[in-house]
Amino acid sequence: MKITVAGTGYVGLSNAILLAQHNEVIALDIIHEKVERINHKKSPIIDADIEDYLATRDLNLIATTDSYLAYKEAEYCIFRPANSICTIISTQLHGG
């Protein structure tokens, strides 16, 4: 299965790594340095488990800043909305 994960923060990268154990995963991010670190099996965030998985597991994972490449053949896409967007929606729904 081909899966694209948008964003390589803690949530996105964790999901991408777990899914990449049994699926073809493309992690999409706008920050070139994060993409380069992931493609060199280095974690862009401080987390022992993520660092270990990237360094020692056989993952079918690539990272890119190219949204066309990331989405063109994806069967599934995983997005995590920004907290500020969730806060705005929550405020509007609850009359705050």
Residues of the domain holding 61: 2-93
Report how far apart, in Å, the C-alpha atoms of 31 and of each of 6, 11, 51, 63, 90 are: 12, 16, 19, 10, 28
Residue 65, class by beta-carbon neighbours within 10 Å (0-12 exposed, 13-18 middle, 19+ buried)? Answer: middle
pLDDT in tens, the chain (96 residues): 999 999 999 999 999 999 999 999 999 999 999 999 999 999 999 999 999 999 999 999 999 999 999 999 999 999 876 644 444 443 444 455
pLDDT at 43: 97
Phi, psi of 27 (to 5 degrees): -100, 125
- Number of domain units in the chain: 1
CATH code of the domain containing 13: 3.40.50.720
pLDDT recorded at residue 79: 83
The token duo for 19 is 């899914």
| pLDDT on residue 95 | 53
Nearest in space to 3 (alpha carbons), one of 69, 77, 67, 54: 77
